């Protein structure tokens, strides 16, 4: 990555932090801490690593991202808005009644959200299922998931890790 590219990513990460704070400020509630610490990783994923196209959010060959620590969605919403999935103005309506962006990600209402999450431990299990689906259907999309350090103490996360490990050895497609 050259210097100009790095600078662009740093600027994007700053905009994502600002967007997350803007949302939480207007909602007067939410989770700013875990959102801010997620910004750099989200920037790298959405602006460098993942193969996604905001014009085709349901493309079956797209890479997937599951925010298992769903309470940090202000950062994910800011990332998706910056990427072009929906207007940045939506961030100011975070958690408002009837608004598209609610306190936890909802895949039915929000373009770019690949999994509804919020109950800690469940998202990564869904992500493992998506990865297995890719293998079984012969597709090469990748599935990324972000967890919180506290969330990792959920028993379901351990079960998901065992499931993923087992399937990576036994599913040869």
Ligand X SMILES: Cc1ncc(C[n+]2csc(CCOP(=O)(O)OP(=O)(O)O)c2C)c(N)n1
- String of contacts with ligand X for each residue 53-92, x by CB under 6 A: ----------------x-xx--------------------
The secondary structure of 15-59, three-state, reads HHHHHHHHHHHHHCCCCHHHHHHHHHHHHHHHHHHCCCCCCCCCC
- The closest alpha carbon to 103, from 27, 40, 43, 42, belongs to 27
Question: Which lies closer to ligand X via its Cβ, residue 62 or residue 69?
Answer: 69
Listed ranges 3-11, 56-64, 85-93, 114-122: which one lies at the site for ligand X (CB under 6 A):
114-122
- String of contacts with ligand X for each residue 124-153, x by CB under 6 A: ------------------------xxxx--
Residue 51 neighbours by CB under 8 Å, 6+ apart:
61, 62, 63, 141, 142
Q: How far is the CB of 150 from ligand X (least distance, A)?
A: 3
Q: How far is CA 70 from CA 5, 9, 118, 143, 145, in A?
A: 29, 23, 4, 16, 11
Q: How far is the CB of 173 from ligand X (least distance, A)?
A: 33
Contact between residue 71 and residue 104 where contact means Cβ atoms under 8 Å apart: yes
Question: Which lies closer to ligand X via its Cβ, residue 66 or residue 120?
Answer: 120
Strand partners, 144: 65
Q: How far is the CB of 68 from ligand X (least distance, A)?
A: 9
Provide the 8-state DSSP code for 61.
Answer: T
Nearest position to ligand X, beta carbon: 148
CA pair distance 97, 134, nearest whole angstrom: 36
Among 31, 62, 83, 95, binds ligand X (CB under 6 A): 31
Q: How far is the CB of 86 from ligand X (least distance, A)?
A: 24
- The closest alpha carbon to 46, from 18, 90, 8, belongs to 8
Listed ranges 9-17, 117-125, 128-136, 163-171: which one lies at the site for ligand X (CB under 6 A):
117-125
Interface contacts to ligand X, rule CB under 6 A: 31, 33-34, 69, 71-72, 118-121, 148-151
């Amino acid at each position: 990555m050259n210097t100009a590219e790095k600078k662009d990513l740093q600027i994007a990460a700053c905009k994502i932090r600002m967007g997350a704070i803007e949302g939480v400020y207007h909602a007067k509630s939410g989770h700013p801490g875990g959102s801010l610490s997620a910004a750099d990783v989200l920037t790298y994923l959405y602006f460098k690593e993942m193969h996604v196209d905001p014009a085709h959010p349901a493309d079956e060959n797209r890479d997937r991202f599951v925010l298992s620590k769903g309470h940090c969605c202000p950062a994910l919403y800011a990332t998706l808005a910056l990427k072009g999935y929906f207007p940045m103005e939506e961030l100011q309506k975070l958690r408002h009644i009837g608004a598209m962006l609610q306190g936890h990600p909802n895949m039915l209402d929000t373009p770019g959200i690949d999994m509804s999450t919020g109950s800690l431990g469940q998202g990564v299990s869904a992500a493992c299922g998506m990865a297995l689906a890719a293998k079984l259907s012969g597709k090469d999309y990748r599935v990324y998931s972000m967890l919180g350090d506290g969330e990792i103490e959920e028993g379901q996360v351990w079960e998901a890790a065992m499931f993923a490990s087992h399937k990576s050895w036994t599913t040869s497609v």
